[in-house]
Structure 1
Amino acid sequence: MTETLTTAALCGLNLISDDEVDAAVNAFLTNAMGPTFVFKEGYRLNLAKAVRRHPGADDFVNRREVGTQLKRPFVRAAIMQARPTRD
């Protein structure tokens, strides 16, 4: 079932676009505790949870001395490895 696939796998199937992943990254960096992110095909992802579950991203994103541009690839990796759900 596609519900258990990672965001990266869903991108490979063209169910989620790179632009949507970029939008999710921007949403997290703007408001880490924001609402669940909804991709166009109806897949949903709790961005804060995705980052918390990714060891490297969770550690790096919480460093105050690190700027947004350095956090971006870690947040993207967390989102790409997460498993969005679909209603």
Structure 2
Amino acid sequence: MADELTIGSLLKSKVITPAELSAAVGAYLMDPAAADFRFGEGHVLDLATAVDAHEPSRRALADPKATAAFKRTMVQTAIILARPSKG
């Protein structure tokens, strides 16, 4: 069942902390090719794949007029919607 959970549901159930989410967003913004990010409790998410899979985030990141804050929010949204693996 853990494979079916999103980062958002794990955050809501306090398995993943807001600080971990913020660290994941920061890691992606520092290196958009970033791959595996390890959250607590052994959850792993390929950040680059998660953001690439979320079309609105891809568009925002490609938009030269988008602010840094908006881009950060869109990356966070993509990560929240993503489904990590356990391991």
Instruction: Kindly report the root-mean-square deviation, in angstroms, between the aligned alpha carbons of the 2 structures.
Output: 1.1
Matched length = 87
Percent identity of equivalent pairs: 33
What are the superposed Cα offsets for residues 27-65 of structure 1, whole Å, 9 maximum, x if unpaired?
A: 000001123100021100011111111110011112234
1:35 equivalenced with 2:74 (yes/no): no
Unpaired runs of at least 5, structure 1:
none
1: distance between equivalents of 2:41 and 2:62?
A: 31
Structure-1 separation of matches of 2:66 and 2:31: 16
Question: Would you tell me which structure has more helix in proportion to its own residues?
Answer: 2
TM-score by length of 1: 0.92
State the secondary structure of the residue aligned to 1:83.
coil
Q: Given residue 40 of structure 1, which amino acid in structure 2 is its aligned partner?
A: G
Whether the 8 Å contact between 1:29 and 1:68 is mirrored in structure 2 is no
